Amino acid sequence: MRTIRVGSRESRLAVIQSELVMEAIRASHPDIALELVTMKTTGDKILDRTLDKIGGKGLFVKELDAALLEGRADLTVHSCKDLPMDIDPQIPLAGFTRREDPRDALVLPQGVTELDERKPIGCASARRAVQLRELFPGMEVAPVRGNVLTRLRKLDEGQFSALVLAAAGLKRLGLEHRIARYFTVEEMIPAAGQGILALQSRAGEDLSYLSQVVDEEGARCAMAERAFVRRLDGGCSSPIAAHAQIVGNDILMTGLYVDEAGNTFRRRVTGPKDQGEALAVALADEMKEACPCPEK
């Protein structure tokens, strides 16, 4: 019997997401044995600084990448939005799953029904911070690190008036009841790949066992969104957002870009769904051209 070792971060959410993938593999390939291999990543260990101060999103995948390269894992599962834009060709992307809810959500402390304007709203990305300041002018926005459960504990201890978290993660954790408000994807443009799981494996591996796991629509959206961010040289410290939707035979792409002067640009483009990446790159170029940056 073939055994597939699935590498995952050890947080509760990461394990749940890996188990979702494993369940889908079992359903279509009962002849395959699956083993979950968990590990703490550098990004999970350093919680006293924001990601842009410690090296970016790659710190959440460094140990998982090493496990693939060294043969300690055969497949790794990531939240797509946490995946760096540059992928080692030795461990290429093996596919993307169907998208869960892409929206961001506002979470209040237990038993609270209104924002306390004396305390900051906590979020973990520049993308959210920029959009929150537009939605809640006058309120302080402060960084918060840690996994979802750690952030919720900080919220309930009274450190923040609210948190902004990905709805998908809360739903997968069974914490949908904590959501006080969903932001529409127009109010708060999501991170590239939000709600989608990304799979990685070693180059040359037989990946036929993933046939019922990967999703074409999820892949089209993820690749277009990632192409947009990559074109703008976006990292975790860059206020860049991208959201794609498949509508019939078209893909609708919305992007957000904030230049070095703090100017915010929002643009949208629609075109054939099989040209998503090219459309995303063209949209990024258009937004960069609109930027009144001194280096141009």
- 296 Cβ partners below 8 Å, 6+ apart? none
Which value, in Å, is the radius of gyration of the alpha carbons in the chain? 19
Judge whether 145 and 48 are in contact, CB under 8 Å: yes
Known catalytic residue: 206?
no
The 3 state secondary structure assigned to 21-51 is HHHHHHHHCCCCEEEEEEECCHHHHCCCCCH
- Strands 121-123 and 179-182, by their bridges, are unpaired
Residue of 82, 86, 104, 250 with catalytic role: 82
Distance from C-alpha of 140 to C-alpha of 160, rounded to nearest angstrom:
10
Q: Which residues in 152-172 are b (16+ Cβ under 10 Å) and which e?
A: bebbbeebbbbbbbbbbbbeb
Q: In what order do the strands lie in the sheet with 197-201?
A: 33-39, 3-9, 75-79, 197-201, 93-96
DSSP 262: -
- 63 Cβ partners below 8 Å, 6+ apart? 39, 40, 41, 42
Q: Which residues are catalytic?
A: 82
